[in-house]
Amino acid sequence: MTAIVLLGPPGAGKGTVAEFLAEHGYTHISTGELLREQIRLKTALGIEAKKLIDQGSFVRDEVVMGMIRELLDRSEKGSKFLFDGVPRNLAQAKQFEELIRSVDGELTHVVLLECPDEIIIERLSGRRICKKCGTVYHVIYNPPAVPETCDLDGSKLQLRADDKAETVQKRLDIYAEKTAPLITYYQMKELILAVDASRSIKEVRAAVLEKVE
């Protein structure tokens, strides 16, 4: 099993890149999406996670790493995983490595999506997600065929609760404090592949694919 981590601030385009790499044989694992699925299903975990996510805080490390452990335990030998949203702090990074080792896997690259805050704020304020299936759109850069309607299932689109301006700033502050130190951590391990994520969706996706293949 091999693993690639997509690292970058909220709204840098991790999910958008991952959706594309999934068409090239990678299995996309988004911890944010796994948690939102629990919220949609109204499980106990989802109820606990919703409060934290909506206010822009992290969910407990044990919860997130437990989900990753379960997933890796069920993984097949030749899988190529693309992790989006995890690890998010140093404690998670260390645990993540142990989990990968425990299944004889290898972390091959950490793709860093670099994007300035002003672009991120524009991307998150224009992001819309499907209420039912979670598909992601942008009102300008990746609009649905019919405004405010999901192309896949016709459901209404909505703003993510954590994409309100005040919550976005909090998420950016938490990223700078807790997640950005992972850049140096992975640079020391010579795993970082940096990509300028301020370009168009097409350009960023192509640049990442070229780097990882």
Dihedral of the alpha carbons of 201, 202, 206, 207, in degrees to the nearest 10: -50
Q: How far is the CB of 61 from ligand AP5 (least distance, A)?
A: 6
Only one of the segments 48-56, 71-79, 95-103, 148-156 lies at the binding site for ligand AP5 (rule: CB under 6 A); that segment is: 48-56
Is the sign of the CA dihedral 203, 141, 124, 5 positive or negative? negative
28 binds ligand AP5 (CB under 6 A): no
Residue 202 among the catalytic residues: no
88 binds ligand AP5 (CB under 6 A): yes
Residue 199 among the catalytic residues: no
C-alpha 158/C-alpha 139 separation (Å) is 11
1 binds ligand AP5 (CB under 6 A): no
190 in Cβ contact with 173 (< 8 Å):
no
C-alpha 101/C-alpha 88 separation (Å) is 19
Q: How far is the CB of 120 from ligand AP5 (least distance, A)?
A: 8
Residue 171 among the catalytic residues: yes
Q: What is the DSSP string of 133-172?
A: T--EEETTTB--SSTTB-TTT-PBEE--GGGSHHHHHHHH
Residue 207: its H or E element = helix 201-212
| Of residues 28 and 105, the one with the C-beta less far from ligand AP5 | 28
When binding is defined by CB under 6 A, the residue of 117, 141, 164, 183 that contacts ligand AP5 is 141
| Of residues 77 and 202, the one with the C-beta less far from ligand AP5 | 202
96 is written with which tokens?
């993540």
Catalytic site residues?
14, 88, 127, 160, 171
Kindly list the residues in this chain that would bind ligand AP5 in the complex (CB under 6 A): 8, 10-16, 30-32, 35, 52-53, 56-59, 64, 85-86, 88, 92, 123, 127, 136-138, 141-142, 162, 171, 200-201, 204
